[in-house]
Chain A
């Protein structure tokens, strides 16, 4: 369970979030510039809210009043950013193992099999296709045994054909790994396909929340 109750300054407006997230997949839906990525960065510890509290599974990782601000490396949050950000000086295997945490639910073999990245292990990052990079980035985040997985428009940078091929991998992660996910997108199809619950975000505020059908009704 993830409790979010915080505010932070963002460009031209103040972002305010008061939500409790339960269930497997929460989709943050909204136009670009609405503050979706900012929310993920606040959860991951890459941006500091000006007030409020963020708790992951009952543990405060940020609490302004109690002066708690757990640094990103202590939060156990898996973050797959839009730009992927695989380490260019490490090969696929070393990227995957970079954040490996023992005692996680997943061993390396399971992750590489699930995402079908075994054939890529000894390759460099430069030679990977867009879809392969996405799968490696996803695998790298999973190997760190996160308590929550943040996916920032993982399919935004790939074309329709590739999207069709990567979606099943994301669904496998959702169904087989059982890590709660926050999935950012501005694509209705993805939202419908993934969400247990959708939060509609506009100019820094959550204006509607509910199931995909309730929220995304035109």
Chain B
């Protein structure tokens, strides 16, 4: 079996998922860190749900939503987009499972930024959106890097939700964790062990990158 294909597919889908986490992740982290609004507790709960729910249960919810007869799947099917048991389902499962970690990490980082800087920027005429992108986010850059790395690592390791919505189709939706499970189940211990080493290498690389970015951001302040 092509271990290289499994690895590159997993890294590519996890990278796509990490990119997809960023827009909603920025918005949610900022909302929760800096705003008081009605429904805040609900948003907080929904965001953290995939973290506390069994991943397989989250996968089942996604399956119900995205299935061709589900509320979202129906709309997608009408536009000719298949999701379930394709690479798209893999990316969606990774995104949903990684988002809570991304939001929590970035939110904590934003809360660390001294509000004084944001207030000064506002008195200098900067509207809230500009304050966020020119002051808050650059000052929370180490947290953003950490959030992206944690989200990516969680995406690479995603198993439960992925197997529910995407299955384990060789060369189509089989990711690294799913492959490890399948190989171990079917007695291909050598392949499983090789993938284990690859998974560890990816995790170590991601952590190194996060530390590197944090250190560089730290030097500038």
Contacts and interface: CB of A to CB of B under 8 A. Distances in A.
B141 to A, nearest CB: 8
A79 B131 CA distance: 16
B213 interface: no
A98 B124 contact: yes
B119 A46 contact: yes
B116 A73 contact: no
A144 B117 contact: no
Interface size class of B (residues with CB under 8 A): 20 to 34
Given A89-B139, A140-B124, 9 more contacts: A73-B122, A78-B123, A79-B120, A85-B114, A85-B120, A87-B120, A87-B135, A88-B221, A98-B126
A75 B33 CA distance: 25
Nearest to B138: A89
A76 interface: yes
B125 A99 contact: yes
A191 interface: no
Interface size class of A (residues with CB under 8 A): 20 to 34
A122 to B, nearest CB: 15
Contacts of B114: 85
Interface of B: 114, 116-117, 119-128, 131, 134-135, 138-139, 220-221
Contacts of B125: 73-74, 76, 99, 101, 144
Contact of B123 (A77, A83, A89, A101): A77
8 contacts: A45-B122, A73-B125, A85-B116, A87-B135, A88-B117, A124-B220, A126-B221, A140-B124
A71 interface: yes
Contacts of A151: none
Given A72-B119, A85-B116, A89-B139, A141 B124 contact: yes
A156 to B, nearest CB: 16
A37 interface: no
Given A72-B123, A76-B125, A79-B123, A85 B117 contact: yes
A74 B125 CA distance: 6
Nearest to B122: A72
A81 interface: yes
B116 A87 contact: no
Interface string A41-67: 000111000000000000000000000
B126 A99 contact: yes
Contacts of B126: 73, 98-99
A75 B123 contact: yes
Contact of B116 (A44, A81, A89): A81
Interface string A83-110: 1010111000000001101000000000
Contacts of A44: 119, 123
Please name the 5 residue pairs, one residue from A and one from B, whose CB atoms are nearest each other, closest first: A99-B124, A72-B122, A79-B123, A85-B120, A88-B221
A87 B117 contact: yes
